[in-house]
Amino acid sequence: MAAIKGPAIFLAQFSGDTAPFDTLEGMAKWAASLGYKGIQVPTDPKLFDLEIAAESQEYCDDIKAKCAAAGVEITELSTHLQGQLVAVHPAYDELFDNFAPEHLHGKPKERTEWAINQLMLAAKASKRLGLTAHVTFSGALMWHLVYPWPQRPAGLVDEGFKELASRWKPILDAFEEAGVDLCYEIHPGEDLHDGATFERFLEEVDNHPRANILFDPSHFVLQQLDYLDFIDRYHDRIKMFHVKDAEFNPNGRSGVYGGYQGWVDRPGRFRSLGDGQVDFKGIFTKLTQYGFEGWAVLEWECCLKDSAQGAAEGAPFIASHIIEPTKVAFDDFAGAGSSTERNRRILGLDK
């Protein structure tokens, strides 16, 4: 069994316009000062130039050297926002325009082409950085159909998954060529939001070896999905891990759907590590049991606690949950020598 690596931190929610949060080097030093060993980097141009990274080994080597000098390493790159734009239902066009450069606003076809190219660049950049996994969103053509009312016409969902797969298959092939796992964050608002939808997608992409999962238990708490059983079912496809807490406290007024309320008032809401209901001991145990070798990466999202406090508390929390796999069996002291002949005698086969 291998040990989970960490602690690491996803930088997206901390990036800003003031130092040290306005540059990758500044954020690397900040993360290291809090005890993090790795940083997961969003491909935001002000932090990381994806286009240059895809073509320049010198740029990637320089980025790695600066991070190493700060005391951290890059764990993975993220294209959450670009992945979302690979598949967008027209009802969400205006809402998701903000995820793309301004010159693409109001141009859904061109926006999708840009998003797909961004993923292609991410495969190349990840390879140049020596990374083995990458995280993104699947996008959604069918999210407005998640509740089966009005009744869905026969074949509608099948057609949706067929189209989703056709857009992602060339991207998955590019990640195969780069030797990098493409990990979809299983997330509400995406067509891949639970095990059943991931299975349908996997079937449509012919069980592509690079179609994998970022496991984030917080999104399963809000769906009331058994996240420990999810690990049992899909551990061979789990290649990335966001350590994120959540709670679900339904009442007679609202439940899973949340009543269109803000985050503070919803029954299901994200919390800082240790403040929610996620069984992290169970999660770290199962991931260690199944030989997960990736990073444990804090994704901080909390509707109550300040981000600075959440980040400071995250590194020791993760470190305290990482299990160093045992190299010996606990009962080895009572063991005895063996041989085929002795085993057969014990079984009564030589009498």
Identify the pLDDT of residue 335. 75
Own/partner pairs for 117-121, CB < 8 Å, 24+ apart? 118/43, 118/50, 118/79, 118/82, 119/79, 119/82, 119/83, 119/86, 119/171, 119/174, 119/182, 120/54, 120/171, 120/174, 121/50, 121/51, 121/53, 121/54
Q: Is residue 351, in this structure, part of any structural domain at all?
A: no
Q: Is residue 88, in this structure, part of any structural domain at all?
A: yes
pTM: 0.95
Domain that holds residue 59: 5-346
Contact 183, 212 (CB under 8 A): yes
Closest among 190, 238, 199 to 83, alpha carbons compared: 190
Identify the pLDDT of residue 136. 98
Q: Is residue 44, in this structure, part of any structural domain at all?
A: yes
Q: Is residue 337, in this structure, part of any structural domain at all?
A: yes
Contact 250, 267 (CB under 8 A): yes
| Residues 18-75 pLDDT 10s | 999 999 999 999 999 999 999 999 999 999 999 999 999 999 999 999 999 999 999 9
Q: Is residue 215, in this structure, part of any structural domain at all?
A: yes
Q: Is residue 257, in this structure, part of any structural domain at all?
A: yes
Structurally, the chain folds into a number of domains equal to 1
Identify the pLDDT of residue 349. 92
What are the backbone dihedrals phi and psi of residue 79, each rounded to the nearest 5 degrees, phi first? -125, 50
Q: Is residue 162, in this structure, part of any structural domain at all?
A: yes
Per-run averaged pLDDT (10 residues), the chain, 351 residues: 93 97 98 98 97 98 98 98 98 97 98 98 98 98 97 98 98 98 98 98 98 98 98 98 98 97 98 98 98 98 97 98 86 75 88 67
Q: Is residue 214, in this structure, part of any structural domain at all?
A: yes
Residue 178 sits in a domain of what CATH number? 3.20.20.150
**Strand pairing category for 5-10 and 238-243:** unpaired
